[in-house]
Amino acid sequence: MGRILCQGACLLRIALLYDTITRIGEDTGPLTETAEAVLLALEKGNHDVFPLKAERDFLSKLDLIRPDLVFNIAAGIRHKGEQPLVAALLELSGIPYTGSSYATHTIATQKHLAKIVFQAMGLATPRFAVFSRIESGDAGRIGLSYPLMVKPAWEGSSVGIGCSNLVYNCEELHKVVLSILTIYKQPALVEEFLPGREFTVAILGTENPTVLPIEEIVTREPIYTHTAKVEDRVEYRWPHLDQETVSAITSLAKDAYQALGCRDYARVDIRMDASGKPQLLEINTLPGLAPGYSELPRIAQKAGIPYTALINRIVDMAAERYAIWPGSEEKPVVYLHGPGQCPIH
């Protein structure tokens, strides 16, 4: 754990909280490329930065660091399903942090809960059902129109989604639902399939959020699979859309963002039905920030917001929300590895 020295007067003392989980149960070990990129951007913003891995004792280390703000990019400690819990621990400890609240992360990461909110707010989203278990005959009583899209209810990054997840009859539905329940140990979300174009919309802000340019996701397969994402077999386009369609997509994305109470930044996934009407798929309240790879930085760049400016804009929004002012308190020297090793000022 080292200190990143700012040049001149530092603005804020920031703990960069990150995880090294790439998928369920897997840990990459060292500082991730995303964390390194965010760290460098914060340093360029003249902040005093302390990278901190999200481990069981991260709160005690934060007590030593005493940051003005935590820049939170940690999706969990053991697995990505703990994303809301990281925010909850920060909230319970009274530590200011970037991004959405524990409640918002909880709803967004459980896709069926988000869809319930969308429906309650009158926002278009595919009709759906949720299976926490499945028995003989259940698939035949679903009451939805085929084809259907089946996916794990709590996963992100298209995890658990392959071409076989698009099902055309109750036998296929039963098989895929049972597979998700067995492998991922979580409910299976079943939605009526939308055959139209797919888009992702990045949004910045809280009270008056700004919708960034619409990005279209184009794949060879009829659905956006995990394999296509991992193997980079996806084409991202800046679509030429008429103003009515742009307005419909941006309004729907913004309404969904505000319905869930998102803060600072998030990404909304939208797909069109057979008639060309946009409908909500899900919201990612902790979208990737890997420069050159993740959607949000790429879309921000298209909007004229370079990576360093994006990261520091997120800091500014969170600092304004918590009314944090630079230089308000002198911080002590602390040791994260015991006395005599690597002092942190």
**What is this structure's pTM?**
0.88
Q: Mean pLDDT, to the nearest integer, of 188-198?
A: 95
Q: How far is CA 44 from the centre of its chain?
A: 24
Give strand pairing partners of 4: 49
pLDDT tens for residues 70-101? Answer: 999 999 988 878 899 999 999 999 999 999 99
What values do phi and psi take at 132, rounded to 5?
-95, -10
Q: Mean pLDDT, to the nearest integer, of 28-50?
A: 89
Q: What is the mean pLDDT of the chain?
A: 87
- Residue 208 burial (CB count, 10 A): 7
CA distance 129 to 51: 41
What values do phi and psi take at 261, rounded to 5?
75, 35
Residue 297's pLDDT band, with cuts at 50, 70 and 90, is very high
Q: What pLDDT score was predicted for residue 91?
A: 96
Q: Distances in Å between the alpha carbon of 38 and those of 14, 72, 210, 255?
A: 11, 10, 21, 28
Domains and CATH numbers, the chain: 13-99+325-344 (3.40.50.20), 106-123+195-285 (3.30.470.20), 128-192 (3.30.1490)
Residue 155's pLDDT band, with cuts at 50, 70 and 90, is confident
Angle at 214 between CA 154 and CA 246, to 5 degrees: 115
